[in-house]
Structure 1
Amino acid sequence: MPSMSTEMKIFGPVFWASAGTAAATLRAHAASRTMARFIGILQRGRARQPSRTKPGEGRRQHATTTPAARQAARVAAGPAHPSTPLSTAPTLLHDSSVPTRPASSISVLICTYNRAERLEETLAAFGSVRIPDGSRVEMVVVDNHSTDATAAVIARHARRLPFPMITAVETRQGKSFALNTGLALATGEIVALTDDDVVPDAAWLEGIARAFRRPGLTFAFGKVLPRWEQPPPPRLLTREAQAIWGPLALVDYGDREVRYVPDRFGADRFPIGANLAFTRAALRRVGGWRNDLGKVDNSLIAGEDYEIFHRLRRAGLFNGLYDPSIVVHHFVPASRVSRRYFRRWFYWNGRTIARMLPDYYDGLDFRQVPLVAGVPRFLYRQALGQAAVCLRTWTRRDPLERWIQHLYAVRYVGIMTECWRAAARRKRLVDVPAAGSAVAAPADADRRTDGRGEAV
């Protein structure tokens, strides 16, 4: 199997070359003459052309009025957290409910892999985190088969923390495997997630306990602020640059509380796992995290902390709160601010999106969507549209805009690559069926099981 860098060299030109070069490259990867004919039609403008979503503008609607077409208008722009442009202020829904009792018990869940130095800082910081009045606190640390000094760091701090620590080793590589192992061990009413390169505020647990006083709340989250290893380029800290903040894993949605309710699903930006708490009952109800998402096999496949909200909504459990007083500080290494890392992250973000297409286009029946070489046909139109936008920005003098559109094009490289790979895997399964194997649906080729071993 070719490496990611090799694939980037092969597929990258599709999205920032001219339309003619794009067609020629796509033809080279077509599984049949049908694909080449289709791309040629797109070039000549003879195909039917529903209006498309402009990259980087969030979710918009097609001109046609059918629900499926409106859903298909959602561009695969990545999870709606910091990688989404901050074009609108969050919706404020004032809660007049009377606070009830605080959470009786909280399990802090940390999954770690080969970050002993950073984990040392994280666990040391928890020695200063205040325990909420009336709450029992425990920590669950899952080592995802580290090869550095992680085990020694965990053992050392297990004796120092002001609350008990439960430890486990998960040998299957991937954050979701580790999260599901930790969920099985947690006993708290609330499961509070953070990362192994994060330092929480002293009042972090108090803020989480206070948030869950609201009746019916199933999740709460707050700010993820940076701890820079070295100062970033000033332009990266502007409002416009927040459209590409995904690689930095930062969250700052303002200084006012925001309620997340089903009627507003997708209207406001989502949390990330560095500072996010759920009720344990809700997590168990939806089966935990998808095992094919979340740093699988040391890749940058992510999305586990986005996809789970779709299942919460489908289960009638989407009821959350953004509380700006719940704060953690995330270490951002110098390598993450490099152009190379941004390209790499957006490429893998595209591959993540390809694994979650039904969630991004949740009103679209993918059984009815035509496929061309394993890729939903409408994605070719969106990718070619992004190529055109990318080319147009090179005539402008705004380097940030050029960079943003370039990264959106790289994202499409990842989407198409993952779709092509999934199609190849399905073909192999058909050609050489394994005992008891089943061929997955096109949009769910890599979907495995949830935390209970059930199909998601």
Structure 2
Amino acid sequence: MDISIIICTYNRVDNLKDCFNCLASQEITSNFAWEVLLVDNNSSDHTKQFTLDYAAQADFKLRYSFESQQGLSHARNHGVNDFTGRILIFIDDDIRVSKNWLQSIVNAFNTQQCDAVGGRIHIESPAKLPKWITLDMYGFLGHQDFGNESRSMDGYKEFPFGGNMAIKRAVFEKIGLFDTSMGRKGTGLKKEELFKGEETDFFHRLADVGGRFYYQPEALVLHKILAHQLKPKFFLTLHNNAGQLESRRDASTYRRTILGIPMFIFPQFVRATVKYIELCVTKGPNFSFRQLMTVTYFLGLMEGYYKKNSL
């Protein structure tokens, strides 16, 4: 098999019809074999039956597989191990791909010396975005757009997002799978479920060994935003958890600490907090929220170091 498309899902059967229908509408202009694997990450709804019923009448090859270990990284790794495609493409169940999406990814691999390809992700919101969600925050909702020109990415500051990423199988054989200590678990509605970072970790590992990344703007997908993702709590939880994850991954030993927290973090936290207060006074809450996210990140960082070194 040339191309394997992996979709991981948990209790979101209502998303699958639109996702599958877009795949069925792909406009293919070259000769390659492709298949789709739906990885059910321990759903309790009728995901399995819906997928099997759809597969029975689909014009493309669709398979169902079950992963009982909760977590997006576990589900993605299951897909890697269960599929045989030379190129593995990952999308989410709330993604709708454009008609030339698959062909444009194949074109990128055929014409470029690259190990991973990422495309554009545009967000679809159920309502008008609140004013406090500024353009530089769209990425936290899964948005990715580096412009209309295709080009290389460095793998550190720029790399594919998980809702639209394609990776050669040889990469997994070289650097391993996604880190299962990271990544969203369950619905992502609870604080303990909303940890990310597995894609960043994976692509940084690939960049460390000389991996090559390519941005293909023609590979456009639409990402459906849920109502809870438009609330301040979502963004603050995301950043608090990111801070905890960063401290957990830090293998350094620090001589000067308070309650297990490295001393140098405290002045950074104070500066971030002072800046937030200044913005609240001068610009108002809509313009200061982005800085509050930074403050929350430092709180998570300190909480993580405290838990790791003092408990």
Q: What SS does the corresponding residue of 2:37 show, helix, strand or coil?
A: strand
Q: Which runs of 5+ in 1 are unaligned?
A: 1-103, 359-365, 428-456
C-alpha separation between the residues in 2 aligned to 1:384 and 1:377? Answer: 12
Partner residue, 2:243:
350
What is the CA deviation profile of residues 348-380 of structure 1, one whole-angstrom value per residue up to 9, with x for unaligned ones?
A: 23233334446xxxxxxx246644433333222
Q: Does 1:184 align with 2:70?
A: no
CA 1:372/1:130 → structure 2, altered by over 3 Å: closer, same or farther?
Answer: farther
Deviation at 1:336, TM superposition (A): 1.4
Partner residue, 1:332:
225
Q: Does 1:294 align with 2:183?
A: yes
Q: Which moved more, 1:245-254 or 1:171-180?
A: 245-254
What is the CA deviation profile of residues 147-184 of structure 1, one whole-angstrom value per residue up to 9, with x for unaligned ones?
A: 11211221122223333223221111111011111000
Within 5 Å, give how 1:223-262 maps onto structure 2. Answer: 223-233=120-130, 236=133, 241-261=134-154
Within 5 Å, give how 1:80-159 maps onto structure 2. Answer: 105-159=2-56
Q: What SS does the corresponding residue of 1:327 show, helix, strand or coil?
A: strand
Bigger Cα Rg: 1
Task: Assess if the C-alpha contact under 8 Å between 1:127 and 1:160 holds in 2.
Answer: no
Partner residue, 1:414:
300
Q: Does 1:405 align with 2:294?
A: no
C-alpha separation between the residues in 1 aligned to 2:165 and 2:145? Answer: 13
The amino acid of 1:320's aligned partner reads F
CA 1:125/1:324 → structure 2, altered by over 3 Å: closer, same or farther?
Answer: same
Overall identity of the aligned pairs, in %: 25
Question: TM-score by structure 1 length?
Answer: 0.63
The amino acid of 2:222's aligned partner reads H
Task: Assess if the C-alpha contact under 8 Å between 2:132 and 2:287 holds in 1.
Answer: no
C-alpha separation between the residues in 1 aligned to 2:196 and 2:93? Answer: 16
Task: Assess if the C-alpha contact under 8 Å between 2:273 and 2:295 holds in 1.
Answer: yes
Deviation at 1:395, TM superposition (A): 2.2
Deviation at 1:386, TM superposition (A): 1.1
C-alpha separation between the residues in 2 aligned to 1:214 and 1:357? Answer: 39
Deviation at 1:215, TM superposition (A): 4.4
Q: What SS does the corresponding residue of 2:57 show, helix, strand or coil?
A: coil
Q: Which moved more, 1:223-232 or 1:127-136?
A: 127-136
Q: Which runs of 5+ in 2 are unaligned?
A: none
CA 1:153/1:349 → structure 2, altered by over 3 Å: closer, same or farther?
Answer: farther
Q: What SS does the corresponding residue of 1:278 show, helix, strand or coil?
A: strand
Q: What SS does the corresponding residue of 1:395 show, helix, strand or coil?
A: helix
Task: Assess if the C-alpha contact under 8 Å between 2:257 and 2:263 holds in 1.
Answer: yes
The amino acid of 2:145's aligned partner reads D
Within 5 Å, give how 1:418-433 maps onto structure 2. Answer: 418-423=304-309
Within 5 Å, give how 1:209-220 maps onto structure 2. Answer: 209-220=106-117
The amino acid of 2:266's aligned partner reads Y
CA RMSD of aligned residues (A): 2.1
CA 1:164/1:389 → structure 2, altered by over 3 Å: closer, same or farther?
Answer: same
The amino acid of 1:406's aligned partner reads L
The amino acid of 1:325's aligned partner reads E
Task: Assess if the C-alpha contact under 8 Å between 2:194 and 2:238 holds in 1.
Answer: yes
Partner residue, 1:390:
276
